[in-house]
Amino acid sequence: MSHPILQAEDVTKTYDGFRAINALNFYLFPGELRTVIGPNGAGKSTFFDLLTGRAKPDTGTIRYADSDAAPSIDLTDLNEYEIQRLGIGRKFQTPSVFAEHTVFTNLVLSLKGPRGVFASLFHRLDSSARDRLDSLLKLIRLDDKRHWKAGLLSHGEKQWLEIGMLLASEPRVLLVDEPAAGMTDEETHRTGELLLSLRGQHSIVVVEHDMTFVKQISDGGRVTVLHQGSVLCEGKFDDVQSNPKVREVYLGRGKH
């Protein structure tokens, strides 16, 4: 078995005495699409915050591998943009796009490339970048709305745009927080297909509530159940679903 690309070991994070993450261990392998589920307050968003530098763990290590070797880069020392530049992209739970900018500009700003002050002063779009933008716009089905202000898009379209922005930056790891929220069933399904199509080239972690969607994207992949800040269990969707502990803390509450 190869080395994990992302590895969190024994991570703890406390907010005002509340243990949001408690001795968590998590390993993500290259090309994997991992689904993370868990009841509200299980620590899913905090976990993403820790991975992306928005919060620092109290104890434990979070490491990332930028090559095939064992993960060696300590993410806890880095801040948001440094982690992003390493190739870890994140989509937020509530879609966060630049509402005052056009769809097109939103993507341009996310495009992989130099991120420095002077680079952006003298930035020019070359033709290959334009092609890439065009294909992205088609992928997220916003081609005809490329000049719309992003703020005018529907909720679902914003979710897509944000996924598009994520892809534009060509990350190695995608952290996707509730991508299907606010979408119609059809949109949700398409989102699932998109994510599945990315599997392999990218390593993906998806946090989701919608069990139908989880079932769709887990597709033989592993599902991690978080509970009270730690991993309750991990395994194939069916195994997890039949796990009595999971049923007790999560499914047993009547959701699905």
DSSP 167: H
- Per CB under 8 A, 148 contacts other proteins: yes
- Per CB under 8 A, 154 contacts other proteins: no
- Per CB under 8 A, 70 contacts other proteins: no
CB of 36 to other proteins, least distance (A): 18
CB of 184 to other proteins, least distance (A): 20
> Which 176-205 residues touch other proteins, going by CB under 8 A?
none
Please state, in angstroms and as integers, the Cα–Cα distance from residue 75 to each residue in 3, 56, 79, 118, following that order: 17, 9, 8, 26
- Per CB under 8 A, 18 contacts other proteins: no
Could you give the angle at the alpha carbon of 140 between the alpha carbons of 138 and 146, nearest 5°?
Answer: 65
Listed in sequence order, the DSSP H helices in 140-243 are 155-168, 185-198, 211-218, 237-242
Segment interacting with other proteins, rule: CB under 8 A, options 56-64, 99-107, 189-197, 234-242: 99-107
The whole-angstrom distance between residue 122's C-alpha and the CA centroid of its chain comes to 31
- Per CB under 8 A, 44 contacts other proteins: no
Rounded distance, CA 182 to CA 144, Å?
21
Minimum CB distance to other proteins smaller for 45 or for 218: 45
Number of residues in the chain? 256
Helix (H, G, I), strand (E, B) or coil at 209: coil
Minimum CB distance to other proteins smaller for 15 or for 239: 15
Minimum CB distance to other proteins smaller for 7 or for 106: 106
Among 3, 19, 63, 101, binds other proteins (CB under 8 A): 101
CB of 212 to other proteins, least distance (A): 27
- Per CB under 8 A, 52 contacts other proteins: yes
- Per CB under 8 A, 140 contacts other proteins: no
Rounded distance, CA 108 to CA 95, Å?
17
What would the DSSP string read from start to end of 67-101?
SSS---EEGGG--HHHHHHHTEEEE-SS----TTS
Among 58, 80, 131, 238, binds other proteins (CB under 8 A): 80
Maximum Cα–Cα distance for the chain, whole Å?
A: 59
Question: Contacts with other proteins: how many residues (CB under 8 A)?
Answer: 41
- Per CB under 8 A, 159 contacts other proteins: no
The whole-angstrom distance between residue 77's C-alpha and the CA centroid of its chain comes to 20
The site for other proteins (CB under 8 A) is made up of 15-16, 45, 52, 54, 79-81, 84-85, 89-90, 92, 94, 96-102, 104-105, 108-110, 115-117, 120-125, 147-149, 152, 165, 169
